Amino acid sequence: MPLTAPDFDRYFTPGHSFVLAGGERGTLAVAVAGDLWLPSGRVTACDPFTSLGGGWAAPFTAEVAPGRYRAETAVATFTAPGADPGGRPHLRTAAARLVIRDTATVTWEMAVTEGQDPSRLEDDAYFGYGVDAGTGCFYDPAADDSFPQCEGDEGPLWDAFEEDGHGPGPHLVTGEHGHGLVAFGSGWGDGHYPTWIGRDADGAITCFVTDFFVVPTPGDDAA
């Protein structure tokens, strides 16, 4: 059976805490980036420093009405046993969410691009996007070519993270022609991460959520 979605409600419940195997306690908070414009109603997720531009990243097959939607992240602050409480906080993005509507999510499905079929996946396998620069993002494919300087140590995307002291964000960044994206640190860093689509009781899409595997699954944490 393919990987199933975790309980994202606890990810986006401020104050929820968990303990890692090494003893570090993580406490979650929600950071809001702002409203992301989706002129076509389609959503793409990728590492913007390596895959943005030139159509390298394909949009998900699920579509929503064109509009502006709230982008936010679940950020975990970690505290090690005996650590100096006045030291610099250790922050990691646990998940990133694009909220389509504020109705209760009752079902989850894996977000896929054209040609991907979750029913063919092996046990605990999933479709997702690769990260090689420690960063993920959401954007409308219409913005794909709006950040020609996204690679390297220059351009508005790099500036957003640099001005934040290279923290996990999130950052709502505007490129050319008014198009934008929301970018955020990818959990512990490089890897391969799934995105999930939530639906309400009427089958309408409520959100897109990328999980960065920071929060342990129930039974693995001590909170």
Mean pLDDT of the region 135-149: 90
- Distance, in Å, from the CA atom of 127 to the CA atom of 11, rounded to the nearest integer, reads 21
> DSSP 3-state assignment of 11?
helix
Token reading at 15: 């104050």
Domain boundaries, the chain: 8-211
Of 37, 43, 39, residue with least CA distance to 61: 43
Model pLDDT for residues 194-203, shown as the tens digit of each residue: 999 999 999 9
Asked if residues 45 and 136 have their Cβ atoms less than 8 Å apart, the reply is: yes
The predicted model gives 203-221 an average pLDDT of 88
Q: Is the per-residue pLDDT at 218 higher than 50?
A: yes
Q: Is the pLDDT of residue 223 over 70?
A: no
Mean pLDDT value across the chain = 91
How much is the pLDDT for 219? Answer: 57
User: Percent of the chain scored above 90 by pLDDT?
Assistant: 74
**What is the value of pTM for the model shown?**
0.92
Residue 10 is inside which H or E element, if any?
A: helix 8-11
Least confident of 44-48, 129-133, 166-170: 166-170
Residue 7, by phi and psi: left (phi above 0), alpha (psi -120 to 50) or beta?
A: beta
pLDDT of residue 54: 81
What per-residue confidence (pLDDT) applies to 163? 83
Residue 102 CA to residue 66 CA, distance in Å, equals 16
At residue 149, the pLDDT reads: 64
The 3-state DSSP class for residue 64 equals coil
Q: How far is CA 69 from the centre of its chain?
A: 14
d(CA 13, CA 117): 31
